[in-house]
Structure 1
């Protein structure tokens, strides 16, 4: 009955007052972010990160590129989870030639396509099978196809919702055993101020019922709100003893490849306002802060003890802020959690089972075994992962994974 009531209360849109407040947040961020973040250096100074293991999605361009590069230059073991491994390899060679470090950068490349939930499962299977602890997962990859018609992935989901929310949610859950091994560990979701100007209908997250008119703006902002809502529930349900913190970050309004699908004439205007927008290095600071600041786990724990209904949200100025009021609706957030699990093919008890290393069932995999010897068996044809060495002497730590 409670779920039905909450479902009935799901909004088809914001009230005019909520809409005005949401867009006020967006406009304020665009024009005042540089003032708000004037105390930050660029690049953000990082402490030595030796032995810290980090996975960064979408690491071949924009914010993800800067996150991966700066983490690696600070000594972290970085895994670039990308659609284009060849591009990642080229970047690594460039970074190796430019680095001031005496030793080589420690970077791995693994193929990951968020438009395929099967790819997410395979990636997770491969990483978990290594038996390594994971300290930081940064879900950075995202799309914003402004002005484009509605598109669906091969999995049948609206592309913004899949890339920006569903696939990162599946990745985060399936990597929980590795994150537990690496505790204290962190899941960092790169979000957007655009989540302030949308709602999520748990019964129509795919925008197919006709109740809401789809636009690329609505698809993007709704996916980012769904990400915050899912993160809030995950934050509440993860046991304290797991040692895993959940953080959403706002990178600010930045000039990155997220605008690659903009109409050409809009892209011209987009590039004429660099004095207002952040560059990728500046926009990476909130995620880097969330990944490395020693006080973050304490702050996340405090939110849990205070029974605050949201996970930590760090702004572009590297300060804690509140997400939108809509994201704090725990009744709707719980429905978004349940619907997300259904869409990615996981059961309602998957969280506890994954943390305990028990077998889980999903339409994208057969089972998951004990985290000491993790393994996914996909219902699709088996995949072989081959390991290649790249580069010359001094780059033995660079490895390249690709499917064959």
Structure 2
């Protein structure tokens, strides 16, 4: 199958150097506290978090539970080395009860490697008739040991789990989000999007090749977030929905436990060695999700969306932990955004 690559501009070495510099900013490891991400009253709010039984998703769910939110933990049946969703639910219920809340917290199965499973989850949610306040598109898998694996839907597995299934879920439950007063969508992207290359398959369908799918789909994801935001604010019905992409930091979480054993590729060995020196905890990483989901700074921009607090940044941002950052220049190119958009699966 033929491909079309977007060539680098004449200042190739400058752009590469700039990308490396921006990517390295993702290793920022200062310790955040409640002062940086203050407690919010989330009683009565409904939150969906994909991948909520492990890593930063679980830590974010714990915070939302302690703050009084109702939570749907959207998770697969996990491997044995991860916390089972049923145990995660019980833990969050205990936190909510200890804080004096009578929250509803449930595990609803979803398999991001199967688009039909995403559809089934969305239908189940829509059948409740509830308005959704926060959607956290967080589930993900690591880049190695899976480069050549394809899903039964015909997509490279990392690309589908980390990107395509989340865009499908977002589209399917958009009506529910629209019924909330100030809904937010938080998408877990990565600083590694600075190392992604733009390549498109025939008919403009973006499918990463066998090498580098993780960096590439994180780049596609951030581009999609920017275009999605542009379309939301251009619509009277959806203008009040705020969507942002977050890099949680270099987190020592289960996503890097590719095989579930102490054996693995040389990449896995390197990540494990670095983890003891450069990473932040899953709790620290979860602040990125919580901040984007609740802070006034990344809430709706009143000048654009007709509601929100003065000075709020609104949507379409790339957030490095809790700070707005500059994304790859591709996100500002309307033609590139359109090509990414047109290639997405829809319900």
Compute the TM-score of the two structures, normalised by the length of structure 2. 0.83
Question: Closer, same or farther in 2 for the Cα pair 1:42/1:78, shift >3 Å?
Answer: farther
Question: Closer, same or farther in 2 for the Cα pair 1:147/1:88, shift >3 Å?
Answer: closer
Cα deviation 1:246-286 (Å, max 9, x = unaligned): 11111011111111216266545534443421111101111
CA contact (8 A) 2:62 2:95 kept: no
Q: Which runs of 5+ in 2 are unaligned?
A: 307-312
Question: Closer, same or farther in 2 for the Cα pair 1:156/1:92, shift >3 Å?
Answer: same
Distance (Å, rounded) in 2 between the aligned partners of 1:42 and 1:202: 44
Partner of 2:6: 10
Alpha-carbon offset, residue 314 of structure 1: 1.9
Alpha-carbon offset, residue 42 of structure 1: 8.8
Alpha-carbon offset, residue 301 of structure 1: 5.5
Partner of 1:81: 74
| Matching residue within 212, 220, 226 for 1:226 | 220
CA contact (8 A) 2:89 2:106 kept: no
Alpha-carbon offset, residue 300 of structure 1: 8.1
Distance (Å, rounded) in 1 between the aligned partners of 2:100 and 2:157: 43
Compute the RMSD of aligned alpha carbons.
2.9
Aligned-partner SS, 2:152:
coil
Alignment of 1:121-136 (within 5 A): 121-136=119-134
Alignment of 1:217-256 (within 5 A): 218-238=212-232, 239-242=235-238, 243-256=240-253
The answer to whether 1:159 aligns with 2:157 is: yes
Partner of 2:198: 200
Aligned-partner SS, 2:251:
coil
CA contact (8 A) 1:229 1:327 kept: yes
Q: Which runs of 5+ in 1 are unaligned?
A: 1-6, 209-213, 347-361, 363-404
Question: Closer, same or farther in 2 for the Cα pair 1:269/1:104, shift >3 Å?
Answer: farther
The answer to whether 1:46 aligns with 2:36 is: no
Alpha-carbon offset, residue 294 of structure 1: 2.7
Aligned-partner SS, 1:270:
helix
Distance (Å, rounded) in 2 between the aligned partners of 1:275 and 1:126: 43
Cα deviation 1:263-319 (Å, max 9, x = unaligned): 266545534443421111101111101111134233486599xxx9x8122221x12
Alpha-carbon offset, residue 231 of structure 1: 1.2
Distance (Å, rounded) in 2 between the aligned partners of 1:27 and 1:327: 19
Distance (Å, rounded) in 2 between the aligned partners of 1:163 and 1:300: 34
**Higher radius of gyration, 1 or 2:** 1
Cα deviation 1:88-137 (Å, max 9, x = unaligned): 11122234445632344421211111101111111111100110000000
CA contact (8 A) 1:161 1:205 kept: no
Question: Closer, same or farther in 2 for the Cα pair 1:265/1:150, shift >3 Å?
Answer: closer
Distance (Å, rounded) in 1 between the aligned partners of 2:253 and 2:113: 20
Aligned-partner SS, 2:131:
coil
**Aligned pair count?**
322
Distance (Å, rounded) in 1 between the aligned partners of 2:152 and 2:4: 30
Moved more, 40-49 or 289-298: 40-49
CA contact (8 A) 1:246 1:300 kept: no
Partner of 1:314: 319
The answer to whether 1:338 aligns with 2:335 is: no
CA contact (8 A) 2:189 2:246 kept: yes
Cα deviation 1:307-351 (Å, max 9, x = unaligned): x9x8122221x12222111222221111110011xxx1x3xxxxx
Alignment of 1:177-192 (within 5 A): 177-192=175-190
The answer to whether 1:58 aligns with 2:51 is: yes
Distance (Å, rounded) in 2 between the aligned partners of 1:301 and 1:40: 30
Distance (Å, rounded) in 2 between the aligned partners of 1:181 and 1:303: 15
Partner of 1:351: none
Alpha-carbon offset, residue 149 of structure 1: 3.7
